[in-house]
Amino acid sequence: MDRLIPHLRGFFVRGCDVPARHHHTIPVPGEPDATLLLMPSWQQKSEHDGLLGIKLVAVFPGNAARKMPALTSVYLLFDSGTGVQLATIAGDVLTARRTAATSALAASYLAREDATKLLILGSGRIANILPEAYRAVRDIRRIGVWNVNADSAARMVARLRDTGLDAVVASDLEHAVRTADIVTSATLATSPLIKGEWLQPGVHVDLIGAFTPAMRESDDAVIMRSTIFVDSYDALHEAGDLVHPIRAGILSREDVKGSLAELCKGGVRGRRSRDDITMFKAVGTALADLAAASLAYKADAPEQLRR
């Protein structure tokens, strides 16, 4: 994370071409619909760089009942000048690490500098990486983990404790939210988990799940009380946490204070005071995928392949 987060920041500053992602809904009899995502992005070929990549993602929420991962993916990396394929990268690992790093990058602008108490909703692949990411940007000393499946939360807490971290199971979600400095949620929830009335002055809320209009992790009161930032403006029509308040007329495009790229470039200001309630809503951007893939490729590929 010490390498990935600043590398991501550089990509958000420089930018790249990111066309609209493809969403395809796949009916699964007797289970929630599945989703197929195709996420391309590329850099213009230059003397020193030029990469093109596409991530293919299959999200099957019903897999939770099978004790299987709900999300699987693969990333294909090419030279943007020749189309030559350079690498096939494990998309699940890439997605989890770039997602956690993106949240931490946003928190570096939005969370209080003295934040020490982190609450994580969820205990899946991404949730397990969030402590590492947040500890790269803030002095996190205590971690609470809540999950609808308490046994899963307990297993995650045990893993964190094995690494020497002070972690506890958060059995009372309301109390945990009220006492946290940072609340980060990485779930597949379809109805709100976090209530705005629980938010204390100065808290930072990071919403990672709810990447479709049918999903949601926060209620309207969270939106109304927060200063809102997004990873990309696609979130306005893709994320249930924003789509529903927009439809209800309590949120508009002008209420969103900025994107992560604008934060990184200094075009907008992040946290303005100690008591601000800030919220970062991410739906995932192919820019972050390409950034992470380029770092993995350049770090791990043999020198003769990188020429």
Distance (Å, whole) CA 160 – CA 137: 18
Report the pLDDT value the prediction gives residue 304, as an integer from 0 to 100: 45
Q: What is the pLDDT of residue 171?
A: 96
Residue 70, pLDDT score = 83
Res 307 pLDDT > 50? no
**Is the model's pLDDT at 253 over the cut of 60?**
yes
Alpha helices (H) in 115-251, listed in sequence order:
125-135, 150-162, 173-178, 220-225, 235-238, 240-248
3-state secondary structure 118-133: EEEECCCHHHHHHHHH
Q: Check residue 48 and give its pLDDT.
A: 56
Q: 4-93+287-306 in CATH: which number?
A: 3.30.1780.10
pLDDT of residue 302: 56
Under the banding of pLDDT at 50, 70 and 90, the label for residue 5 is: very high
| Domain limits, the chain | 4-93+287-306, 109-285
- Pairing mode, if any, of strands 34-42 and 51-59? antiparallel
Alpha carbon distance, N-terminus to C-terminus of the chain: 26
Mean pLDDT of 266-285: 96
- The b-or-e profile of 241-259 (16+ CB within 10 A means b, else e) is bbbbbbeeeebeeeebbbb
pLDDT at 120 over 70: yes
Rg (CA), the chain: 19
Task: Supply the mean pLDDT for the chain.
Answer: 94
CA-CA distances (angstroms) from residue 280 to 43, 92, 116, 206? 26, 22, 18, 5
Mean pLDDT, residues 43-60 taken together = 86
| Range 214-224 average pLDDT | 96
Q: What is the mean pLDDT of residues 128-134?
A: 98
Contact call for residues 197 and 277 (beta carbons, < 8 A):
no
* Mean pLDDT on 218-242: 96
What CATH class has 109-285?
Answer: alpha beta
Taking residues 109-133, report their average pLDDT. 97
Which phi and psi angles does 84 have, rounded to 5°?
-70, 130
pLDDT tens across 19-48, in order? 988 889 999 999 999 999 999 999 988 755
Asked if pLDDT for residue 306 goes beyond 80, the answer is no
Residue recorded with tokens 């199971």: 169
User: Of all residues in the chain, what percent carry a pLDDT higher than 70?
Assistant: 97
- Dist CA 227 CA 255 (whole Å): 8
- Compute φ and ψ for 149, nearest 5 degrees: -100, 100
Note the pLDDT tens digit of each residue in 164-203.
999 999 999 999 999 999 999 999 899 999 999 999 999 9
DSSP 62: G
Provide the whole-model pTM: 0.91
